[in-house]
Structure 1
Amino acid sequence: MTVTTQPPGTGGPTARPTRAVLRDSLTVGVSVGISGVAFGAAGAGAHLTVTQTCALSLLLFTGASQFALVAALAAGAAPVAAVAGALLLGVRNAFYGMRLAERLQLPSALRPLAAHLVIDETAAVTLAQPDRRTARLGFTTTGVSIFALWNLTTLLGALGADALGDPARYGLDAAGPAVFLALLAPRLRDPHERGVAAAAVLLVLAGTLLLPTGVPVLLALAAVPLAVRRGRTAR
């Protein structure tokens, strides 16, 4: 009997069917992409123009960082403080990128384009695949579908909120934070992750009473080393 082997990353007996990868990737892409409506409304709530709101989705495209930026601006934070908070939240994508670069092994010419699609969801779908072929397919499908839908729904949300008038009158100013919390909550399964979230909330609430607008969000980062230290002690 002759046994054939395949090079690593090219597929094999454990490789997933293309249809399954596409189904899972598009499911994530659609479910996340439509949340751009909330960001469009949040942008209008922060008194950004439709063009400015859409530019953030087109050029920044980091979800949580976008919401943090417009939330800080809506609260009256200085632009520098708002941008600093958004940048700190976006740093995690650089770490995702290092891991995904090793997994995907994309040609040099494609890496700048791929870097723009490195977000939580594309990283999760890519790293869940068993080989390089399906990892590339999952990354591309998830990234392109989210990017296209997110930008389209951002436009729709911004236009809709702009047509309604002041979003604060209808509660649309809370849409961004609400969607962000809804996306985040199911991921907090580990006790230490919940500890980070709880400590961050307490720090933000306490800081809101004492510190200038925009600073409490940055203060929440202090919860991370506290929770990490607690986790190491528990081990």
Structure 2
Amino acid sequence: MGLGLAVGLYGAAFGAAADAAGLAVWQAVVLSALMFTGASQFALVGVLGAGGGGPAAIGSALLLGTRNTLYGVRLLPLLEPRGWWRRLGAAHWVIDETTALAVAAPDRRQARLAFVVGGATLYLTWNATTVAGALGAAALGETARAALDAVVPAAFLALLWPRLQRGYPEAAVQRRVALAGAAVALLLTPVVPPGVQVVAAAVAVALAGRPRPAAVTS
């Protein structure tokens, strides 16, 4: 719940960005309710705000959203939602934060609980603050924007940090994955369209996280 409330506040920044891009309040609300994946939402309004057309904006949003497919593959055997309506509802909440919460849980029961509670808290908070941001965009000063910008990376660092400690299982693999993903994303961000570095980083971390072959002993 703490993570959902903290990251959900960032919805205010999206509401303000949507207003700056020329979207109506209802359009910002629909995007948060139906798309509900922050990076894709920001990509879409960012392209529109820069003067890009609808196809370019949608393409950027879809490209960034492809990572959620990888998350879904990882979460399906962990959550095992039964029935098409549960699968549909769970798929709508498959985002960075809920995936991190579920994967970090010590067992399947707590993974499901973390996914549902984290997803519900974040969804409600994100949508409420989207409305607030869209309505009060003019009152959101530079200091408030900077503070909101720090919320998401701080939350991710808090989730990631315990997995990098020596006592965590396979900590060396976790560190290789984190460093590879960060390096690829940082190197590509200045030279590729939004979203490409995310997909490339996913490929890099898959390679970095491959199990090493067991040593052969005589």
TM-score after normalising by structure 1? 0.69
2:22 match: secondary structure: coil
Long gaps (5+) in structure 1: 1-25, 205-215
- Distance verdict in 2 for CA 1:227–1:110, change over 3 Å: closer
Matched residue, 2:153: 183
Query: Match for 2:72 among 97, 100, 108?
Result: 97
Query: Match for 2:3 among 2, 5, 28?
Result: 28
Return the letter of the residue paired with 1:142. Answer: G
Long gaps (5+) in structure 2: 162-174, 213-218
Q: Distance in 1 between matches of 2:86 and 2:206?
A: 39
Matched residue, 1:82: 57
The structural deviation recorded for 1:200 is: 2.1
Does structure 1 residue 140 correspond to structure 2 residue 116?
Answer: yes
* Number of aligned residues: 190
| Residues 1-235 of structure 1 aligned to structure 2 (within 5 Å) | 26-108=1-83, 109-161=85-137, 164=138, 175=145, 179=149, 183=153, 186=157, 190-204=178-192, 216-217=193-194, 220=197, 224=201
The question of whether the paired residues in 2 share the 8 Å contact of 1:42 and 1:175 is answered with: no
Q: Distance in 2 between matches of 1:129 and 1:219?
A: 29
- Distance verdict in 2 for CA 1:69–1:107, change over 3 Å: same
The structural deviation recorded for 1:192 is: 2.1
| Larger mean Cα displacement after TM superposition, 117-126 or 105-114 | 105-114
Matched residue, 1:13: none
The structural deviation recorded for 1:180 is: 7.5
| Larger mean Cα displacement after TM superposition, 116-125 or 103-112 | 103-112
- Distance verdict in 2 for CA 1:127–1:225, change over 3 Å: closer
The structural deviation recorded for 1:135 is: 1.2
The structural deviation recorded for 1:97 is: 1.0
Identity %: 43
Q: Distance in 1 between matches of 2:102 and 2:191?
A: 34
Q: Distance in 1 between matches of 2:205 and 2:75?
A: 24
Moved over 4 A (4+): 218-232
1:107 match: secondary structure: coil
TM-score after normalising by structure 2? 0.74
1:48 match: secondary structure: coil
Structure exhibiting the larger radius of gyration computed from Cα positions: 1
